[in-house]
Structure 1
């Protein structure tokens, strides 16, 4: 499909919208209006979500044709939104819109291209459930940085989880970048130009295969390197990692904010480091945004409120 994200989203919404269709028709698998939209407001809301998603795919995955969006893009998009500090209600609305996106794509490919292409965005259900269960989203916005991240990490039960948590807290890495690290991603040591201290460099694999560097303490880097030298790679189970954080928070009587609460803590600490180095607020915000692999500074600003 060609055209701007706005144009592509409009074409797909036209496949879904049927003015005046009744609920009994939209829920009847045998009716021609099955799974359609009848509300202008809902259609407009979903259209805006699709536009945002298509821009995300274009900016981060170099996908300009929305018919080429797959479940990997959907997963990345939802986790990016969760990272920005959205509410549970908003995440659920995004999931619903993505469900309609899947339906519209199938219909468009069938009717306009003559192809029964398979799309499966069911990963959205697992992400929403995980976000609810682990406290990654809440009913209202609040500051999610841990007051004492060092205590939390030191208290984790699994030593490997401690390493992953330090990579998130010290380097601002996403959880997806910490669950699997290979030897070729360990790049040695370099001086952090902002604080003037030697740090360990890790190459993380980000959206669309893009590689970026994060800096961690020498202690964390050396622990990670020793593990990889012995075992060939560093690998942890994401669900067990999240459970360890959740259980540890309960044991310490602190509010669980998931592993991404460590990224919030990173953002706050890193902003202060840039400030001490003489950077303005705007310069610091943009720099930290790039370090956290955000394309827009206003996303990182969510981490600083409250």
Structure 2
């Protein structure tokens, strides 16, 4: 599908929005208007989410075609939305909107091709259920720090997943920051002014299109260089990565906090490093907030509570 995000969501809206259709035609699979939307206000809400999702895909995955969306992208989108402790109602809205996007894409594909592509975004509901269960929403608080991160990483099956986890743990990257890495993101080696140690610099583009450098241990940085020299780029399958982490935590009898647990652990470790370098607690929070591509120190305080 070609065109801007807004054009594509407009085309998908035409497929699923049917004004004046009776309820029986919307809930009965034998009718062609099954699962369609009849309310202008509801459709407007759904399309707003689709637009936001489309911009996210373009900025973080370099995907400009809604037909290329997979369950992996939906799951990653939920992950970064959950980071800011959204309300349960907001996450439920996201889940509903992405569910309708799945239906719209399936209908669009059936109309466009002789044999349509089948889309399945069940990951959205799984993420919503987990967020409710683990209280990763505004009506609850849950500390997601891994207290044995090295043990978890050592128990990962995939070497690629071990490297991704190291990047998240040492640099504080979100999952989308390690989902796809190219050679031109390697920025060389310099001295970290906080620890006075040599670090490798990796430039990442994450939530909201924010670009910034993350610092990696030299060993991790060299391992990344070696991987890129062999394969040309570093690309993750999010679901496989998350499953590997889940299995490693199960082996160690540790509660899994997903990929984001490494970012939480980074935040606490980095705040301590700032304080050991002579910065006040408030200065440490602000410094780490900037490193994590936030603006307000209060965001980092969530990770340290």
Give the TM-score, by structure 1 length.
0.64
Q: Deviations over 1:99-121 (max 9, x none)?
A: 434666999x9xxxxxx778979
How far apart, in 2, do the equivalents of 1:162 and 1:51 lie? 36
- Provide the residue aligned with 2:303 in structure 1: 304
- Provide the residue aligned with 1:113 in structure 2: none
- Provide the residue aligned with 1:21 in structure 2: 22
- Provide the residue aligned with 1:128 in structure 2: 124
Structure 1 window deviating more from structure 2 (77-86 vs 226-235): it is: 226-235
- Equivalent residues in 2 for 1:99-114, closer than 5 Å: 99-101=99-101
Report SS of the residue matched to 2:203. Answer: strand
Tell me the C-alpha RMSD between the 2 structures: 5.0
Report SS of the residue matched to 1:187. Answer: strand
Size of the alignment, in residue pairs? 282
How far apart, in 2, do the equivalents of 1:106 and 1:154 lie? 40
Superposed displacement of residue 169, structure 1: 0.9
Describe the shift of the 1:120–1:207 C-alpha distance in structure 2 as closer, same or farther (beyond 3 A): farther
Describe the shift of the 1:213–1:102 C-alpha distance in structure 2 as closer, same or farther (beyond 3 A): same
1:223 and 2:220 aligned: no
Q: Is the 8 A contact 2:70 2:121 kept in 1?
A: no
Q: Deviations over 1:125-145 (max 9, x none)?
A: 3x337758xx96452222222
Structure 1 window deviating more from structure 2 (256-265 vs 221-230): it is: 221-230
How far apart, in 2, do the equivalents of 1:104 and 1:215 lie? 42
How far apart, in 2, do the equivalents of 1:298 and 1:18 lie? 47
- Structure 2 regions of 5+ residues with no counterpart? 1-5, 137-141
1:166 and 2:157 aligned: no
- Provide the residue aligned with 1:80 in structure 2: 77
How far apart, in 1, do the equivalents of 2:221 and 2:55 lie? 33
Give the TM-score, by structure 2 length.
0.64
Q: Deviations over 1:200-227 (max 9, x none)?
A: 1123465899865322111211233344
Which one of the candidate residues 287, 290, 297 is aligned to 2:290? 287
Q: Is the 8 A contact 1:84 1:303 kept in 2?
A: no
Report SS of the residue matched to 1:200. Answer: strand
Describe the shift of the 1:201–1:60 C-alpha distance in structure 2 as closer, same or farther (beyond 3 A): same
- Provide the residue aligned with 2:279 in structure 1: 277
Describe the shift of the 1:261–1:243 C-alpha distance in structure 2 as closer, same or farther (beyond 3 A): same
How far apart, in 2, do the equivalents of 1:301 and 1:47 lie? 34
- Provide the residue aligned with 1:262 in structure 2: 262
How far apart, in 1, do the equivalents of 2:231 and 2:221 lie? 15
Describe the shift of the 1:305–1:79 C-alpha distance in structure 2 as closer, same or farther (beyond 3 A): farther
How far apart, in 1, do the equivalents of 2:216 and 2:155 lie? 19
- Equivalent residues in 2 for 1:130-145, closer than 5 Å: 131=127, 137-139=131-133, 140-141=135-136, 142-145=142-145
Q: Is the 8 A contact 1:267 1:288 kept in 2?
A: no
Describe the shift of the 1:300–1:56 C-alpha distance in structure 2 as closer, same or farther (beyond 3 A): farther
How far apart, in 2, do the equivalents of 1:257 and 1:193 lie? 30
